[in-house]
Structure 1
Amino acid sequence: MPAVTIRNLSDETHRALRVRATHHGRSTEAEIRAILEAAVRPSQRVKLGTLLVDIGRQADLSESDVESLQQREKVPAEPMTFE
């Protein structure tokens, strides 16, 4: 697992991290991991599948439209020829 070293962290910031970690009942290192995880992988991010479903709803796709799209995925595409 990768490791990260943070240099030149002010004493005030380090102290605030320790207090925050204590408040959440975890080590300073675990608190930093939680902060970084929340920053780069927010829970409210939009996932591609959800976005596509929303687009389909806005386009008023019917059940037959959805079935056509699903059927299309099962049929292999014909390879292109350049001759």
Structure 2
Amino acid sequence: MRAVTIRNVPEEVHRAIRVRAAQNGRTLQAEMCDILATAVKPEGRVKLGDLLASIGRKVKLTDEEMAVFERDHSPARAASFE
């Protein structure tokens, strides 16, 4: 897991996160990870592939046509700027 340093956090924000962590039975670090994850990956978010597949089902695409929406879950290759 990557490490992130956040500088100049206002004291009242730091205190509020510490309180929230205690209320949730987590460490300060675990609470901050949860806050960040919730901010960037909310539960109700719509994933593009799922949305396209849903549309495909609604218009009754064939299995062959739906295969276009199957995703490759392999890691992305790093960009090369050479």
Task: Give the TM bin, normalised by the shorter chain.
Answer: 0.5 to 0.7
- The runs of at least 4 consecutive aligned structure 1 residues that moved more than 4 Å come to none
- 1:43 positional shift: 1.7
**Which protein is richer in helix relative to its size?**
1
Taking structure 1 as the reference length, the TM-score comes to 0.67
Taking structure 2 as the reference length, the TM-score comes to 0.68
1:12-50: CA deviation from partner (whole Å, max 9, x where unpaired): 011000000001000111100000011111121112332
1:66 lines up with 2:62 in the alignment: yes
Larger Rg: 1
User: What amino acid is the match of 1:2?
Assistant: R
1:46 lines up with 2:43 in the alignment: no
Please state whether the residue corresponding to 1:13 is helix, strand or coil: helix
Structure 2, unpaired ranges of 5+:
69-82
Aligned-residue Cα RMSD (Å) equals: 2.2
Count of paired positions: 68
1:18 lines up with 2:32 in the alignment: no
